[in-house]
Amino acid sequence: MGYIEDLRKVVGTQPLILVGVAVAVINETGEFLLQKRRDGVWGVPGGFMELGESTEEAGRREVLEETGIEIGKLDLVGVFSGKQHYVKLQNGDEFYPVTIAYVTKEIKGGILKADG
């Protein structure tokens, strides 16, 4: 069980501030790595931080988990937050994300595969 799941056991569905990352991975020919999410929307790999992780570590972990690709150096694009990003999930959970966006051209290895 992860940090957010453990926290939800305590606070229920009330709004939280959650820190996440998004990583644009660009290959040597300038193509962006996109993934089709469960809701049918295309986007870059990313997800929420776990306890003790830096945002860079979270970004690298999420890219590896979601794509099978190992990445290196991350360059900061920006930080996105505010009431316009508010999310209410179908299960009633509410949160305000603080998303740190990165870009990388450093693909170190791995085999590209869909997370499923």
The answer as to whether 28 is a domain residue is yes
| Whole-number Å distance between alpha carbons of 19 and 33 | 22
Return the CATH number at 91.
3.90.79.10
The answer as to whether 115 is a domain residue is no
The answer as to whether 10 is a domain residue is yes
Does the pTM exceed 0.75? yes
Per the structure, the complete domain to which residue 36 belongs is given by 3-110
The answer as to whether 97 is a domain residue is yes
**Average confidence (pLDDT) per 10 residues, the chain, 116 residues:** 89 96 96 90 95 97 95 98 96 97 96 76
Domain count, the chain: 1
The answer as to whether 116 is a domain residue is no
| Whole-number Å distance between alpha carbons of 4 and 18 | 8
